[in-house]
Amino acid sequence: MEDMIIVSVDDHAVEPPEAFLRHYPADKKDRAPRIVDHGGKDVWLWNGKRYPTIGLNAVVGRPRSEYGMEPTRFEQLRPGTFDAKARVDDMNANGILGSLNFPTFPSFAGGVFIAAEDKAEALMAIRAWNDWHVLEWCEIGKNRLIPMIILPLWDMDLTLAEMKRMSKLGVHNITFPDNPALAGLPSLHNEYWEPFWGACVEYKMLLNCHIGTGARAAHASDETPIDAWITTMPMSISNSAADWLFGSFWKRHPELRMALSEGGIGWIPYLLERADFTYEHHHEWTFSDFANERPSDVFKRHIVTCFIDDQFGLKSLDYMNTDMVCYEADYPHSDTLWPNCPEHLWVSLLGQPKEVIDKLTHLNAMKLLNYDPIEAMGGRENCTVGALRYLGRDVNVEPREGLGGLKTESMNLVGEARRPVTSGEIMAMFASA
């Protein structure tokens, strides 16, 4: 276990309060997103609207019994959520070499900015976020934190210009809606995207499509236990996965790649089986055309899948392409297994050949993300779980209890008998935040 090298393709950065201010033009800093106090909570204020900060996005380091929509203030957070140096310390304690981080306040694919009515303000915010992320977050965590950008997807000329600007800074990753049509953009099958696909190939940029960025997981009812909703969240991206799979653009851009971030892998074999059956049984009247291939062949060549803790999926690798499966730690979200990711991963990988273990833990991610820190780190021996944990030996990983938050107040559980938390209660918490 200690000899593994681990690269996570799905983690999250909570933007620090000054992130945007430092990268806005001097005469426009008063228009930058900023943190303000609102009823005792830290919230973002931008463009005349308030946005909640954190919630379940940053419960890492808390006892599981204290999970909920809190924390609501930066002082309740583990510093590694928003401070790059502290993040690297937490990665060391967890034995993680590299980490790709999605936005928090802008939403995982920049949906807050994409939905804004004032596109000039949105463009300024996107550029500032990219500059903070690449020039600060990833520079402080150089060779450890992997750059990824948001794009002004409502305007193709602006999108291509920002890709070119960021490519010059060595960026090879984009966060993109899993279903752009549900984010108010043209569908994947619209010719609008044709220049974009070409630019992704030209600049060697991987599209990272996180669950919930287009097709948000639906909860069955407000009375449904939240456990049911959480259970289906990774699989909620399956509709989008099928949409990508049946796109015609793969034929025109054979080097294009995208990732189903935080989607899990256990359900993938059935999706591929079903897609192949659908094509064979229906293509004569639907006019889908995969030439001499099957849909599963296209999926295995172009679509990256990712897992946190997925023993069934790992036992089903024969039905997938082991060159396109990657690991994710999901720090600092509620699903993360920090600081014990290597222990859980090792148990899941038991019985796999060393060649496959190396692919899933780091080789695939390094290739697909255009990320190779090993020489800069002084060789493989400095990149292993054991070596990194030695560097992080003084990091305090003990749970931080009793930091306060919304749970007992918002859910009115003080003095009541314990009962299942419902989806409706969590949705009400979102609304109140």
For residue 382, give the CATH number of its domain.
3.20.20.140
Nearest residue to 211 (alpha-carbon basis) of 97, 308, 315: 308
Say if 57 falls within a structural domain. no
Q: Say if 420 falls within a structural domain.
A: no
Nearest-angstrom CA–CA distance, 186 and 167: 24
The percent of residues above 70 in pLDDT, for the chain, comes to 93
SS3 label, residue 303: strand
Residue 58 lies in a domain: no
Residue 84 lies in a domain: yes
Residue range 227-251: mean pLDDT, rounded: 93
The beta-strand segments (E) located in 266-357 are 303-307, 325-327
**175 within domain boundaries:** yes
- The C-alpha atoms of residue 62 and residue 76 are separated, in whole angstroms, by 10
In a domain, 126, yes or no: yes
Q: What is the pLDDT of residue 412?
A: 44
Query: Tokens in use for 352?
Result: 């796999």
State yes or no: pLDDT of 135 exceeds 80. Answer: yes
Whole-structure pTM value: 0.94
Averaged pLDDT of the chain: 92
Looking at residue 220, what is its pLDDT? 83
Tell me the average pLDDT across 156-163: 98
Higher model confidence: residue 221 or residue 367?
A: 367
Tens of pLDDT along 167-214?
999 999 999 999 999 999 999 999 999 999 999 999 999 999 999 898
- Residue 430 maps to a domain: no
Flag the least confident range among 146-155, 193-202, 218-227, 286-295. Answer: 218-227
**pLDDT at position 410, please?**
42
336, 58 Cβ separation under 8 angstroms: no
Residue 417 has a pLDDT of 47
Say whether pLDDT at 50 is over 80: yes
Residue 74 lies in a domain: no
Q: Name the burial class of residue 138, with classes exposed (0-12), middle (13-18) and buried (19+) by CB atoms within 10 angstroms of its CB.
A: buried
How confident is the model at residue 6, as a pLDDT? 98
- Structural domains in the chain (count): 1
- Residue 180 belongs to what domain range? 7-50+80-396
pLDDT score of 388: 98
